[in-house]
C-alpha cells in the first residue's frame, strides 16, 4: 500500500511539473515575440520620423525657391534634377506613405503638415506628422492685422496649456513658428537661461526642447524672421543678439552687436536685411538701424535720437512705425522702401498726456493708404488713431478706451478682434472688439497670476508670455 501510494504521488508531481514547464515556455515565447514586435515598432517609428523630417526640409526648399508653388492642397514629393517638387497626392517609400498638406493662414503665412502613415500588423495602422509654419519673408509687411482664421467662441476664451521657464525667471516676450514657440526672459541672476524653445505640437502639453544662457541681463524683446531669431537685450556687451534657429532643437548664437553706451535695448524689429533696435532714453541715440545681411557680423547703418524709450515697432507696406515714450511727439514713421537707407517721414503727438508702449496696424477698408494705428500707453488706455501713410497732418484720434492696465503688447486679427497682454491684475489677457474703430469695446478676458508681457496669434491660438516662471500661456476660443 505504501509503494502504490508513492507511485501515484510521483505521477501527479510529474504532470504538474510538465504543466508548469509548458506555461513557462509559453510565457517566454509570448514575451520574446512581444519584444520582437516592440523592437520592430520602434525601428519603424524612427524611420517614419526621418521620412517626415525629409519631407519638412523638402517643403522648406520649395518655399525658399518659390512661394507661389505653395498652393493649398495635399501632395506627394519628388526629387528631380537636384530639387524637390510636389508630385501627385502622396509618395511612398517601403512601408511608408507620405503626404504634405498646405493650408493658408494669410497671404504671407502657410501651415505645412507632413504626415507619414504605415501599418505595423493586422489592424495596427500608425501615423506621425510634423507641422510647420512657413512665412513669405520677401514681403516686409509684418505688423498689419493677421488674417484669421478666427473659429470657435472667442467671447469665452480658454487657457489650454502652459510652459515653465524655470524658477527665478520672468517671461518678457513670445514669438511663434509652428510647431515651435520661442519665449524670452529675464532673471535676477546672470546664471539663469534667457531664451526658451517649446514644441507645441500638443498645445495642451508644451514641451521645452532647448534653452540658452546669453549671460547677464537677459532678453527684453524678440523678432523672428526666416531661420533667425533677433533679440533686444539689456546685456551691455551685446544689445542685439541673433540666434540661428534653422534647427530649433539646437539653436545657437549666430552673431551680436555691442551698441555704444550702457542703455538697455528694449525692442527689436527686422525688415529685409535691416534690423532696428529701440533703447531706453538714457541712450545718446534711442533708435539704431543695422545691416544684418551677414548675421554673424551686423553693421550700423544709422543712429537717431528721439528723446524717449522706444518700446515697440510695427510696419505696413514701406512704412515703419514706432512709439517713443516720454518724448513729444509719441509716434514716429520712417520710410523703409530702401532698407539700407531708412528715412524720416513724419511723427504725431497724441492729444493729452500719453506715454506709449505698444502699437499695431489695422489697415482700413477705405483703402487709399488709410489705416488705423492701435496704440497702448501707460495711462492704461487703448487709442485708435486714424492715419495715412504720408504726413501726420490728417491723423486724428478715433476712440480711446480705458483698460485699467498697461497694454504691454498687441496683436489684432483682421476686421474683428485685438488681443492684448496687459498689467491689469484681473485681465492680463484682454480681447477688444475693434470692428468699429470709432467705438472699440471690451469683448472677453482671462485672469493670470502675473502681468502679460508679449503676445502672438497663429492657427486660431493666442500665445502669451507672462512675467513669471510659468511664462508661456496658450489660449484658444471656447467650443
The single residue listed with the C-alpha cell 514657440 is 181
pLDDT in tens, 204-236: 999 999 999 998 889 999 999 999 999 999 999
Between 52 and 365, the higher pLDDT residue? 52
Tell me what pLDDT residue 329 has. 74
CA distances from 194 to 94, 306, 311, 474 (A): 43, 29, 19, 20
For the chain, the straight-line distance linking the first and the last C-alpha, in angstroms and rounded, comes to: 82
Q: Is the pLDDT of residue 4 over 50?
A: no
Concatenate the DSSP letters of all residues of 368-436 into one string. Answer: TTEEEEEEEETTTEEEEEEEESS-GGG-EEEEEEE-SS-EEEEEEETTTEEEEEE--TT-SEEEEE-SS
Q: Is the pLDDT of residue 144 over 60?
A: yes
Lowest mean pLDDT among 276-280, 314-318, 337-341, 389-393: 389-393
pLDDT band at 147 (very low <50, low <70, confident <90, very high): low
Tell me what pLDDT residue 27 has. 39
Distance CA 94, CA 334 (A): 56
Strongest mean pLDDT among 63-67, 280-284, 329-333: 280-284
| % of the chain with per-residue pLDDT over 90 | 63
User: What are 371-377's contacts with CB under 8 Å, separation 24+?
Assistant: 371/144, 371/316, 372/398, 372/434, 372/437, 373/321, 373/331, 374/410, 374/412, 374/418, 374/434, 375/323, 375/330, 375/331, 375/350, 376/403, 376/406, 376/407, 376/408, 376/410, 376/420, 377/350, 377/406, 377/407
Average pLDDT over residues 37-46: 74
Q: Is the pLDDT of residue 394 over 60?
A: yes
Q: Is the pLDDT of residue 203 over 90?
A: yes
Average pLDDT over residues 156-176: 96
- Smallest CA-to-CA distance from 295 within 211, 214, 231 is with 231
Q: What are phi and psi of 39, to 5 degrees?
A: -65, -45
DSSP H/E element including 42: helix 2-65
Amino acid at each position: 500500500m505504501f509503494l502504490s501510494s508513492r507511485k501515484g504521488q510521483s505521477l501527479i508531481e510529474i504532470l504538474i511539473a510538465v504543466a508548469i514547464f509548458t506555461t513557462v515556455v509559453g510565457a517566454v515565447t509570448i514575451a520574446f515575440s512581444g519584444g520582437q514586435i516592440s523592437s520592430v515598432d520602434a525601428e519603424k517609428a524612427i524611420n517614419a520620423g526621418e521620412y517626415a523630417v525629409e519631407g519638412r526640409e523638402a517643403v522648406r526648399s520649395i518655399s525658399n525657391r518659390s512661394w507661389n508653388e505653395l498652393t493649398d492642397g495635399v501632395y506627394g514629393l519628388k526629387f528631380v534634377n537636384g530639387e524637390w517638387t510636389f508630385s501627385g497626392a502622396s509618395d511612398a517609400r517601403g512601408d511608408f506613405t507620405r503626404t504634405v498638406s498646405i493650408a493658408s493662414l494669410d497671404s504671407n503665412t502657410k501651415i505645412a503638415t507632413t504626415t507619414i502613415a504605415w501599418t505595423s500588423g493586422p489592424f495596427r495602422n500608425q501615423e506621425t506628422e510634423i507641422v510647420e509654419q512657413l512665412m513669405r519673408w520677401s514681403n516686409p509687411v509684418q505688423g498689419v492685422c493677421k488674417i484669421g482664421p478666427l473659429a470657435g467662441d472667442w467671447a469665452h476664451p480658454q487657457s489650454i496649456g502652459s510652459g515653465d521657464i524655470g524658477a527665478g525667471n520672468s517671461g518678457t516676450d513670445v514669438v511663434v513658428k509652428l510647431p515651435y514657440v520661442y519665449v524670452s526672459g529675464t532673471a535676477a541672476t546672470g546664471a539663469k537661461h534667457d531664451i526658451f524653445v517649446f514644441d507645441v505640437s500638443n498645445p495642451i502639453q508644451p514641451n521645452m526642447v532647448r534653452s540658452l544662457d546669453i549671460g547677464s541681463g537677459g532678453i527684453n524683446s524678440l523678432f523672428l524672421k526666416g531661420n533667425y531669431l533677433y533679440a533686444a537685450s539689456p546685456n551691455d556687451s551685446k544689445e542685439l543678439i541673433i540666434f540661428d534657429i534653422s534647427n530649433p532643437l539646437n539653436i545657437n548664437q549666430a552673431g551680436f552687436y555691442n551698441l555704444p553706451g550702457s542703455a538697455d535695448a528694449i525692442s527689436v524689429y527686422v525688415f529685409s536685411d535691416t534690423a532696428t533696435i529701440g533703447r531706453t532714453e538714457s541712450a545718446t541715440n534711442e533708435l539704431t538701424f543695422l545691416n544684418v545681411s551677414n548675421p554673424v557680423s551686423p553693421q550700423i547703418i544709422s543712429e537717431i535720437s528721439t528723446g524717449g524709450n522706444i518700446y515697440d515697432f510695427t510696419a505696413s507696406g514701406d512704412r515703419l512705425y514706432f512709439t517713443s515714450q516720454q518724448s513729444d511727439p509719441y509716434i514716429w514713421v520712417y520710410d523703409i522702401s530702401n532698407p539700407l537707407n531708412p528715412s524720416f517721414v513724419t511723427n504725431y503727438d497724441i492729444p493729452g498726456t500719453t506715454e506709449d508702449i505698444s502699437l499695431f496696424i489695422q489697415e482700413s477698408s477705405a483703402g487709399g493708404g488709410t489705416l488705423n494705428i492701435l496704440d497702448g500707453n501707460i495711462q492704461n488706455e487703448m487709442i485708435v488713431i486714424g492715419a495715412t501713410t504720408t504726413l501726420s497732418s490728417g491723423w486724428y484720434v478715433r476712440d480711446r478706451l480705458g483698460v485699467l492696465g498697461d497694454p504691454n503688447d498687441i496683436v489684432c486679427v483682421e476686421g474683428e478682434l485685438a488681443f492684448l497682454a496687459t498689467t491689469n491684475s484681473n485681465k492680463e489677457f484682454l480681447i477688444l472688439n475693434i470692428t468699429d474703430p470709432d467705438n472699440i469695446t471690451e469683448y472677453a478676458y482671462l485672469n493670470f497670476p502675473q502681468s502679460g508681457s508679449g503676445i502672438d496669434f497663429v492657427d486660431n491660438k493666442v500665445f502669451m508670455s507672462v512675467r513669471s516662471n510659468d511664462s508661456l500661456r496658450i489660449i484658444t476660443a471656447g467650443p
